[in-house]
Amino acid sequence: MVPIIYFTFGANLISMKKYILITLSVLATLRSFAQTTPVDASESLKPKAKTFTTELNVNPFNGQVSLNNSLNQIKIRYFVNPSLAVRLGFNLSRKDSTNNVNTPYGINSSFSNDEQTSTTVGVNLGIEKHFAGTKRLSPYIGADLSITDKSSGQTISNNQSTTTVTNAWYYTYYSNNSYLTQIQENGFTRYGLNLFSGFDFYISGHFFFGYEFDYSISKTNWKNVSVTTTPSTTTSAAFSSTANSMVTFGPSLMNGIRLGYSF
């Protein structure tokens, strides 16, 4: 019975030694990452002057992969030197939709054609100040200016008339024994200022992950929406206001991890 007890104790002791060795190895690795002593520039994994980087935003908790920010922009950074970078975010997207419904037969033949378009253009331009961290860690602060413009339109044609919608989409639906109208894809122009802070952690010389949060203020001016029907031209006054605007400010945090590379 004693040899069996000794064998079990010995096996547990070996397992414990392996666990301790693995733990010490992990701690040593983390300590080497977190070192704050100055490192030679040739040893640093961070970008040198005249280096470009780009990135995506990945959320490991819901499996989503998206472009870098809440505006769904592609972001490129150019490092003037290791401690100063210029950043540019841009987005150009368009939606086109055509819906035809035709009944060509019989005495009550009819047709309808619904064409919808929407275009969004956005640009962010800013600067980042990077601080000395380690050969892998690069914390930074910065600011950028943003402008976004969205335009949309719609043309609805049927047997009797043509309806043209400017700066929005016009949606009519039947509810509670009546027809209701809803405006979608309203055009706008938005201006903003963003103050941000974040970090890059370089896993290798050209691959990094990071996080970023910001405090932003923006003003959105909604474009005037007009609805015109021909041959008898009427403009719906309900959608002809030019005074609509909205101002927002506050902190925000990207729900995900930034993954990027340099080139």
Q: Kindly tell me if the per-residue pLDDT of 12 is higher than 80.
A: no
Q: What's the mean pLDDT when you consider all of the chain?
A: 79
| More confident call, 61 vs 262 | 262
Residue type at position 142? G
> What contacts 10, CB < 8 A, 6 or more positions away?
none
Q: Which of 19-28, 87-96, 104-113, 125-134 has the lowest mean pLDDT?
A: 19-28
Read off the pLDDT of each residue in 88-113 and give the average, rounded to a whole number: 83
Read off the pLDDT of each residue in 204-223 and give the average, rounded to a whole number: 92
Confidence class for position 106, pLDDT limits 50, 70, 90: low
Q: What is the pLDDT of residue 261?
A: 92
> What contacts 21, CB < 8 A, 6 or more positions away?
none
- Closest residue by Cα to residue 258 from 111, 55, 118: 55
Confidence class for position 177, pLDDT limits 50, 70, 90: confident
Which of the 8 DSSP states describes residue 225?
Answer: -
Residue 258 has a CB neighbour count (10 Å cut-off) of: 21
Give the rounded percent of residues in the chain with a pLDDT score beyond 70. 73
Read off the pLDDT of each residue in 9-29 and give the average, rounded to a whole number: 48
Q: What is the pLDDT of residue 3?
A: 43
Structure tokens belonging to residue 145 = 């200016």
Give the rounded percent of residues in the chain with a pLDDT score beyond 90. 41
For the stretch 222-242, pLDDT in tens is 998 888 888 865 544 444 555
Q: What is the pLDDT of residue 70?
A: 53
Residue in the structure block whose two tokens are 């010490």:
24
For the stretch 30-53, pLDDT in tens is 454 444 445 555 578 999 999 999
Q: Kindly tell me if the per-residue pLDDT of 165 is higher than 50.
A: yes
Q: Quick check: 216 and 263 in contact, CB under 8 A?
A: no
Q: What is the pLDDT of residue 255?
A: 60
State whether the Cα torsion 79-83-84-88 is positive or negative: positive
Q: What is the pLDDT of residue 96?
A: 92
What value does the CA radius of gyration of the chain take, rounded to a whole number of Å? 29
Read off the pLDDT of each residue in 175-179 and give the average, rounded to a whole number: 77
Residue in the structure block whose two tokens are 């903003």:
192
Q: Kindly tell me if the per-residue pLDDT of 66 is higher than 80.
A: no
